[in-house]
Structure 1
Amino acid sequence: MKRFLDKTWAKCAAFFLTLVFGVLTVLGGVGVAALISYDVFLDDGAFARQSLYENRCYSAVDHADSFLRGNLANAGLLSDADGYDYSNIENSPTAVPGEESIPSFLKELSQDFSNEFTLDGFGCHLTVASDDTGEVYLENFALTYTDKPLYTAQSTRLYTLSDGSIYALTYTVDLLQVETAPTYSYLLLSWLTEHTGLTIFLTALFALLALFCFCFSMASAGHWAGHEGIHLTWLDKIPADVWLLVLLCTFFIGWEAFYYEWGRVFFCAALVPLVLLFLCAFAAQCKAGTVLRGALIGRIARFLWRIVRAVFRALLHTLVRLPLVWKTALVGLVIAGAEFLLYINDFYRVRYGVFLVMKLIELLAVLYIAVSLRTLQKGGEKLARGDFSSPIDTRYLLWDFKRYGQELNDVQGGLEQAVQEQMKAEHLKTELITNVSHDIKTPLTSIVNYVDLLKKEDMPSSAAREYIAVLDRQSHRLKKLTEDLVEASKASSGALNVELQPTDVNVLLSQIEGEYQERLAACHLTLVTQPPAPGTMIQADSRLLSRVMDNLVSNVCKYAMENTRVYVTAAVRDGQAVISFKNVSRDELNISPDELMERFVRGDASRHSEGSGLGLSIARSLVQLQGGTFALSIDADLFRADIVFPLI
């Protein structure tokens, strides 16, 4: 069977046979329906035969009744109120003047009656008798012993005479078997009645053959010789909805054009091939999967959907890009316009319940906006404080609030990651500096020790003693630089242990004056101290604070102008103790305070003085570890360093 699916001749034959067997099936179905309507399957055709015989008998009675009424009317014996039109009756006898009795008049019509209703013309024996007396007035011919009636029927008809009386006649019809050809409907129904089983068998057979040919047409749709898979011809490419539209339009136009019954039947029969052709094309489209994609309505719908989607996306994009203020203003304007329209139409006065509900909804919306803004505000405050432990919960936020919350969480995550990476880098740097310093420290200690041994030896040459002095000075300088590197690294990374204890600022200034006065005097500098009020206490680590003071004094000795004063003052301002170091710089200060506190930055650009450039940076880190602040200020040649601690 599969090898015939792509054959053109097989397709055409199946198409034609489907139509032929379909027509035969319909005709057989009509015949079976007629048999069912006459109860053939219940009484073996008795009712059908009776109906056929009765129709013929009563048809003969109607003809005889029309014949008599016409003659009675022409004779003036029938009243006008009888309501029968006899204008077209010919060959009637001459009207009888005056009133004559009906029996005598009917007997005069016996010859005309016999000539009118012959055996060959009507195939039945017909008598007309009085309904009261039973006297026979008219008979078309006499029955013989060989005549056997198939069916006998009687019918009584009433006649209104000219004098107003009512006369009744009884018609008796005996249906006889004659040689004349009956009507086609009589022959067809008679054949169906006699061949009921054959009719049903042929109808079922034609239906199965029509179904087989139809299924073959559907299966072969889309298969063509020379093409692999499903191939659509120009007929198959016509959209299914266009097919349906053409068929429906054709049907309604034809239905209105052929208004009589048989015309509509023939028109519908002529439309069947087009319907079958559409089904074949539809089957091919289903196999190719182009029914919805190729439909004209689908194409129009997709085109309109693309337009609507583009407009919606453009509007949505515009609304999303609008600032929150403009969005709020737009929503408020829409709400105000809607309420204004409702107000001018007296809607609120009639529907005050709706007004209360709308205001309640507006209140809830405002409360939600306030809660959302408060949530974002708390998140921003935590972020400003450096608290990265709790991100903003955006589960209950909507629209722009949700987007802003996510952006704040992204910023928080980025900052947290940056801080972690910075801490990791500082930790790695501290480890690197510590390891390198440790590796340098071992050979450096050996150098320092051997230089000390060489200093104890007697050197005959003054140049050798000078070289040893240089070695001693530079080795100690390198040792100090190594120690500063380690300390700066630990201080900046917070790796140092801090033991905060209450410290009296007055005692601290007394220690500074006692420890560094001689050292400053050796640098030709005069120390001036100005202690604060008694009882000024701060929380500090004395060991770390001593190192800060040592670095500041060392910085003063290196860069202060000789024969000037160095001021170390302490004062209380805004609940804080401020310790200040002030001196006049020997060289011009063409550098900012922030740059001075960076590592390896020195006040003299020529770097002719000894120093590592780490002193101020170490001092700031140590002060910050103790919870204080360290600040520098420069005013022309005046250098000032402020250490601020909160009072306790």
Structure 2
Amino acid sequence: MKFKEKLVLSHILVSLISIVTSIILIDYLVRFFFIRIIIGRGVSIVIPASATRFLNTVRITILISGGISILLSILVALFISRYIIKPVVDMKDFARKISQGNFEARINKHNEDEIGELAESLNYMAFRLGEIEKLRTKLMQNVSHDLRTPLSSIKGYLEVLKDKNFTIEEKQEAFNIIENEIERLEKMAKDLTNLSSADSKTLPLEFERVNLINILKSTFESFSIKIKDKGLNPIIEIPDKPIFILGDSLKLKEIFSNLIDNAIKFTKSGYIKIAAIEEKDKVKVVVEDSGLGINEKDLPHIFERFYKGENNKDGNEGMGLGLSIVKEYVYAHNGEIYVESEIGKGTKFIIQFPTAP
């Protein structure tokens, strides 16, 4: 049975119940009060034929009015059901379109009631599904593109290793390049794993009271050789006393490692700086460089997944997931992250964490 038929039937049943209840009550009340008023109180007497006809007339009148009420109820139910069913039919058609992959479909909001709120919720759901589908398509495109380059490179240098005409030095260089390409593939796989964990809200975080100063020192020192090899000046400005936060030390190192590595990558000359500033109930960490800077139009998007700015659009350094993962890790630590940058003058990433007592 369709919903419209159920709605009409419910109106009929309500009318029938009302009519039957009315007949029983009115019959009883009319007899009771008729006897008390016309015949007299406390007198047991046979009701005259005229009184009986009157009572029968009342019953027939109730039945006729009940029949008319049922017919009117059916007409009203048919009219109202069309009004009520229309949004439901629209939602059914909408659901069919979504199941067919049409995430641009939307439902017209007819009323400011619960059905209207449901329509708004379904429209938002369609919007989010559309965004997820775009991300999925972009993921497949990026993975396909970014895997093709290192795999082609590995394949090409394997040919070098098999060719006896190349010298030992050339083959050693091929080994080094293959090793670097494999490391890139490992980083891509790690980024995808981290992204999957962030999406499913199952980041393997082990929170404890950690000294953020020690983490900053050790992480920055691990890049000291890379910084000096590029001819950059390492600057570290952190207090001598410990600053404690609640966090996962491994994930915190990943946050700062990613930011420092990016700073080195996009800085040709000048400095790489890390600083920590303790405030009232939080600590601010700044990772700064004197590099290329970020284009103003790229700034609002740098934390988006798969986004590559102008400075890295043609590069093969990952899939554009690093900063989005950094943001997820920072948020998982109840922190905030934002960026300041100017073309030709460098970039500054500022992260704030709540301090632990």
Alignment TM-score, normalising by the size of structure 2: 0.53
Equivalence for 1:556? 263
CA distance in 2, matches of 1:416, 1:571: 45
**Which of these two proteins has the greater Rg computed from alpha carbons?**
1
1:616 matched residue in structure 2 = 323
- Structure 2 residue 261 is the aligned partner of structure 1 residue 570: no
Q: Deviations over 1:393-429 (max 9, x none)?
A: xxxxxxxxxx98x47x955884598469848975997
Is residue 2:292 matched to residue 1:594? no
Task: Assess, with a 3 A threshold, how the Cα gap between structure 1 residues 604 and 646 changes in structure 2: closer, same or farther.
Answer: same
CA contact (8 A) 2:230 2:268 kept: no
Contact 2:234–2:272 (Cα < 8 Å) also in 1: yes
Q: Is it true that 1:584 corresponds to 2:290 in the alignment?
A: yes
Residues in 2 aligned to 1:574 and 1:416: alpha-carbon distance in whole angstroms: 44
The equivalent residue for 1:646 is 354
Alignment of 1:461 with 2:166, yes or no, is: yes
Q: Distance in 1 between matches of 2:117 and 2:226?
A: 51
Q: 2:229, 2:236 → 1: CA distance?
A: 18
SS at match of 2:222: helix
Q: Which amino acid aligns with 2:194?
A: E
Which residue of structure 1 aligns with residue 311 of structure 2?
604
Aligned in 2, Cα 1:471/1:616: closer, same or farther, shift over 3 Å? same
Post-superposition CA distance 1:338-387 (Å, at most 9, x none): xxxxxxxxxxxxxxxxxxxxxxxxxxxxxxxxxxxxxxxxxxxxxxxxxx
Alignment CA distance shift 1:591-1:421 (3 Å) = closer
Structure 2 Cα separation of the partners of residues 523 and 643 of structure 1: 26
Give 1:611 deviation, angstroms.
3.9
Secondary structure, aligned partner of 1:610: coil
Give the secondary structure class of the aligned counterpart of 1:604.
helix
Which position in structure 2 is the counterpart of 1:175?
Answer: none
- Selected match of 2:237 from 525, 530, 536: 530
Coordinate RMSD, CA, aligned: 4.4
* Distance across 2 between alignment mates of 1:433 and 1:596: 16
Report the CA distance between 1:469 and its aligned residue: 6.1
Post-superposition Cα deviations, 1:439-498, rounded to whole Å, max 9, x if no partner, equal x99xx99x96x8998787674225984777665544543443343233234324423222
The 5 A counterparts of 1:110-509 are 406=113, 414=120, 418=124, 422=128, 459-461=164-166, 465=171, 473-509=180-216
- Residue 510 of structure 1: how far off its partner (Å): 1.8
- Tell me which of the two structures has the higher relative contact order, counting C-alpha pairs closer than 8 angstroms and 6 or more residues apart: 2
Seen in structure 2, the aligned counterparts of structure 1 residues 476 and 455 have a Cα distance that, compared at 3 Å, is farther
Residues 603 and 491 (structure 1), Cα distance of their counterparts in 2 relative to 1, 3 Å cut: farther
Return 5+ residue gaps in structure 2 as ranges: 1-110
Q: Residue 639 of structure 1: SS of its match in structure 2? A: strand
Distance 2:353 2:285 in 1: 9
- Match of 2:259, SS state, is helix
Aligned partner of 1:595: which letter?
Answer: H
Matches of 1:508 and 1:610, distance apart in 2: 25
Change (3 A) 1:542 1:468: closer
Structure 1: stretches of 5+ with no match in the other structure: 1-402
**Mapped partners of 1:542, 1:629: distance in 2:** 17
- 1:612-636 per-residue CA deviation (whole Å, 9 max, x = no partner) reads 3222111111211222122111245
- SS of match in other structure, 1:616: helix
Match of 2:246 among 531, 536, 539: 539
Identify the residue that residue 634 of structure 1 maps to in structure 2: 341
Distance in 2 separating the partners of 1:455 and 1:544: 39
Cα deviation code 1:134-186 (max 9, x no counterpart)? xxxxxxxxxxxxxxxxxxxxxxxxxxxxxxxxxxxxxxxxxxxxxxxxxxxxx
Query: CA 1:588–1:543 in structure 2 vs 1: closer, same or farther (change >3 Å)?
Result: closer
